[in-house]
Amino acid sequence: MTHKQPISTPEAPKAIGPYAQAIRSGDFLFLSGQIALDPSSGNLVEGGVEKQAERVLHNLAGVLGAAGASFDDVVKTTVYLADMAHFPTVNAVYSRFFPHEPFPARATVQVAGLPRGALIEIDAIARLPAR
């Protein structure tokens, strides 16, 4: 196997630039940042940051699943917020997808802007289960 294997799934939006949804390298999976694009329409979901956070995490779940992994395998995430005032809402949604310890390591940062005017983006690194 090559040291870089792209992972792709229709369960998450197609890449909107020259990048892969995820890259497997050895036992690790590096997931590109997901914004709240609906995979079927390609449109940004409406309903505010809570609905966007849910869509982002469902998109990440789709990419993880395509690689044979789940949220239990995630070791690190980075959450990018357009407004840090959204942190409590996003944290509540995030905790539904990561409900038990050990939680992944995480950084959360406020950014000046995200693609397509999204309110949130999350990327992740997972350790893949043994085959």
Q: What is the CATH number of the domain that holds 112?
A: 3.30.1330.40
Q: Which residue has the tokens 């980075």?
A: 78
pLDDT at 16: 81
Residue 35's domain comprises 5-127
User: Count of domains in the chain?
Assistant: 1
CA-CA distance, 35 to 28, in Å (whole number)? 22
Q: Where are the alpha helices (DSSP H) in the chain?
A: 48-66, 87-97
Mean pLDDT of 114-126: 97
Most confidently modeled of 12-16, 45-49, 127-131?
A: 45-49
pLDDT at 131: 65
> What 3-state DSSP class applies to 76?
strand
Mean pLDDT of 66-79: 97
Exposed, middle or buried: residue 126 (CB in 10 Å: 0-12, 13-18, 19+)? buried
pLDDT digits over 33-67, tens only? Answer: 999 999 999 999 999 999 999 999 999 999 999 99
pLDDT at 103: 98
pLDDT at 126: 98
pLDDT at 129: 83
pLDDT digits over 21-38, tens only? Answer: 999 999 999 999 999 999
CA-CA distance, 121 to 102, in Å (whole number)? 22
